[in-house]
Amino acid sequence: MGKSEINGLSQSILESVSSQLLEVSKRIDDDIQQASELIINHPGKLVICGLGKSGLIGQKIVATLCSTGTQSVYMHAAEAIHGDLGIYNPGDPTILISKSGNTEEIVKLIPILKEFKSPIIAIVGNVDSFIAKNADIILNATVEKEIDPLGVVPTTSSLVALAIGDALASVLMVRRGFDKEDFARNHPGGELGKQLALKVENIMHPINDVAQINNEDSISSCAKKMTDNPLGAALLLENGSLKGIVTEGDLRKSIASNLDLSNSIEPFINDNPISIHSSVSILDAMKIMEDRSSQISCLPVVDSNGKCLGLLTLHDLYQTKLV
C-alpha cells in the first residue's frame, strides 16, 4: 500500500468510530439507567464475565467500577466452571460481555447463573442472540462495522463495550454520590489521588517562615525581608489576620519606579489579596492559581476565622506533583 493510499486513513477510521459511538449513545441511556438501578439496589458485589477481547474489556470495566465505589470482580468465562463460580453469593448480578451474544463458554454459564438467582445484564452486539434473549437487561452494543481494514478485528465493538461500561460506572458514581474525596481514598498512590487527598495545609510554608512587613517598612527593608525568606511574597498582618501582600512583581515595580529605596513600600501593598483556605485540596489550589488570565505564584493561607497560617507557592504544587 502506497503512502497516498494511507493518507487520511487514521482520520477516517477515528471518524467512523466516533459516528458509530454516537449512534450507540442515542439508544442506550434508558437501559443503563435500568442497569444502574439493579446494581445499586443489590447489597453485594457485581460480577463481570467475558472471554478474549471482551474479557480484557471486562477487566478494565471492573477496575473502573472498583475505583469509583462499586464492588466488582472479574470472572473468566472459561475458568468459571472450574472453581471460579465460588465467588458468587446468591443474587449477585452479572454483566456478560459478548460481541456475538453466542459465546459458547458464556452460553453454558447462563443456566448456572439462573440457579444462583443472578440477574443478568448483557453487553452484546447482537440483540437476537442467546445471551440477549436470556438477559434481564440488554445494553445494546451493536455496531455497523469494525474499523480495521479487514472489518473483522474487534475494534469498534470493543471500544463501544468499554464506553458502555464507563457510562454505567459514571451513572453509578452519581447515584452513590461518589465524590473527589472518595476517589482519593481509593487512589492513595496515584497522582490524581495524591492531588485530591493532600490539602494546602500539608504543603504550605508556616507563617513563621514567611516574610512579614508593616506599613512603615521601606522598599529596601521589604526587599531584605523577602531575601531572608525567599518565598516570593511578604505578608502584611494585623493581629494575625491577613491585611495585604507584596509579591516579587510588586517589589520590582517599586524599584523600577525610581523612588528612593528608603521610601515606604505601602503604595505597592495589595490590600485585597486572594487567599486560600488551609483545607482546600492541592488540585483545587492549582486550579485557583493557574486557571486565570494572570497566574498567581503565591497564595496566603487562612483558616475559617481569617487567621493567616502561612503561604502556598506554585513551586510547592509543582514539586508535590513530581514526588
pLDDT digits (tens, 9 = 90+) for 172-201: 999 998 776 666 666 555 555 555 667 899
Cα separation values, 215 from 221, 267, 300, 303, Å: 11, 9, 18, 24
Kind of pairing between the strands at 120-124 and 276-277: unpaired
* CATH 3.10.580.10 segments of the chain: 197-322
Mean pLDDT of the 199-209 span: 92
> Does domain 3-178 sit in CATH 3.30.565.10?
no
The pLDDT-based confidence of 5 (bands split at 50, 70, 90) is low
Buried-state track 98-110, b at ≥16 Cβ within 10 A, e below 16: bbbbebebbbebb
> 255 with 218: CB under 8 angstroms?
no
Measure the CA–CA gap between 299 and 235, rounded to whole angstroms: 10
C-alpha cell at 300: 496566603
Residue type, 141: A
DSSP for 73-93 reads EEEETTTGGGTGGGG--TT--
Helix (H, G, I), strand (E, B) or coil at 123: strand
Q: Is the pLDDT score of 30 beyond 50? A: yes
List CB contacts of 103: < 8 A, sequence separation 6 or more.
51, 54, 77, 131
pTM: 0.65
Write down the residue that cell numbers 434473549 correspond to. Answer: 133
* CATH numeric code, 197-322: 3.10.580.10
Element holding 310 (H helix, E strand): strand 308-313
Q: What is the pLDDT of residue 323?
A: 41
Domain with CATH 3.40.50.10490 in the chain: 3-178
